[in-house]
Structure 1
Amino acid sequence: MAATRADLFAFLDRLGIVHRTIEHPPLPTVEAAMAIWGGMTGGFAKNLFVKDKKSRLFLITLRKDAALDLKHVQAAIGASGRVSFCSAEQLMEHLGILPGSVTPFGVINDTEGVVTVVLERALMELDPVHVHPLENTATTAVSADGLVTFLRATGHEPLVVDLPLLA
């Protein structure tokens, strides 16, 4: 059974990670979220769940306004060949979340450690980092260090890299 938002918050609390969450209507896209996030500071994340030619899974988290160059991202993340988006079924199977709610917190459900988490270096230089807490009806702020601590505690050593962006 997939972790709930309450499970996530309890895990963050056990790790001593300070977090702040605001509730809001469902926000399936970054564009919809901007109406809610407008006056808040920090880095707002968008997330892509992709696979490579060998079916290796990657969760890429980057700044909301960064346009990732999907044709050239494989070198930066260590993928084999071009990447493509995973299905909703794969998202639920590996991260226990629905489309529109993709978040690095989803790896709390990846107990087999098959997902590689990739964090954009520029996002990690912003504070705090804002992501969904397993569902798109809230946004949770944590420090960049807190996010890395969470990922490591779930067995996911993140790759913090400069990602290729479209001009």
Structure 2
Amino acid sequence: MDASSAFQDTLPLSSDALLTQLGDWGLAYRLHSHIPLRTVEDAKGVEDQFLVPGENTLRLKNLYLRDKKKRNYLVTLEQSREIDLKALGAELGVGNLSFGSADRLMQSLGIRPGAVSPLAMINGVQNEVRFFMDSAAQKSDVINMHPLVNDRTVVMTRADLMAFFDRIGCEVTWLP
């Protein structure tokens, strides 16, 4: 199975259910459907279509990581930001980090590789996943992210994304 919406009914929370929940909470978003995006490079070619002139848009890359004590982390960074896992682990104060397996990703965030997104914290908060976000998000008007599948992108305002985190009880730790 891949991370596209064709298999969303095999997820603990489907993309459609997430989008309905966002609407029920009064959180606005623009939804775009597209080919499955598996990498940052794939996304760069497609996301230009979503840009609105004058909007400061944050494009993301998301890392599902674990430390030696088997604690789980979702780290969301500006798409072009360079990352050194050893330095990141030191910055977070958690020691050495490594990428989590596909099985653990499903268990902890309820998604498949290629669909990692801050919106997956709707599942992650129940599984004690710690969330870190690039402080560049604090300066953005809108943020592009996958709604639990990789063939859709939602564009949300920063304020609506922060309201989402409040709704689900997700603490955001900002990365400089």
Whether TM-score is above 0.5 comes out as: yes
What's the TM-score once normalised by structure 2's chain length? 0.85
What's the TM-score once normalised by structure 1's chain length? 0.89
Aligned structure 1 segments of 4 or more residues deviating by more than 4 angstroms = none
Unaligned 5+ runs, structure 2: 1-10
Is the contact made by 1:47 and 1:102 (CA closer than 8 Å) also made in structure 2? yes
Is the contact made by 1:113 and 1:155 (CA closer than 8 Å) also made in structure 2? no
Is the contact made by 1:45 and 1:123 (CA closer than 8 Å) also made in structure 2? no
Does 1:124 find its partner at 2:138?
yes
> Which residue of the other structure, out of 94, 101, 106, is the alignment partner of 2:120?
106
Aligned-residue identity in percent: 34
Cα distance in 1 between the residues matched to 2:96 and 2:125: 26
Does 1:54 find its partner at 2:69?
yes
After TM superposition, list the pairs within 5 Å mapping 1:36-115 onto structure 2.
Answer: 36-39=46-49, 40-41=51-52, 42-79=57-94, 81-110=95-124, 112-115=126-129
| Residue aligned with 1:67, SS | coil
Q: CA deviation at 1:53?
A: 1.8
Q: CA deviation at 1:155?
A: 2.0
Q: CA deviation at 1:111?
A: 5.3
- How many residues are treated as equivalent by the alignment? 161
| Residue aligned with 1:71, SS | helix
- Which structure shows the higher helix fraction? 2
Unaligned 5+ runs, structure 1: 163-167
Structure 1 range deviating more: 122-131 or 43-52 = 122-131
**Aligned partner of 1:56: which letter?**
R
Q: CA deviation at 1:124?
A: 3.1
Aligned to 1:165: none
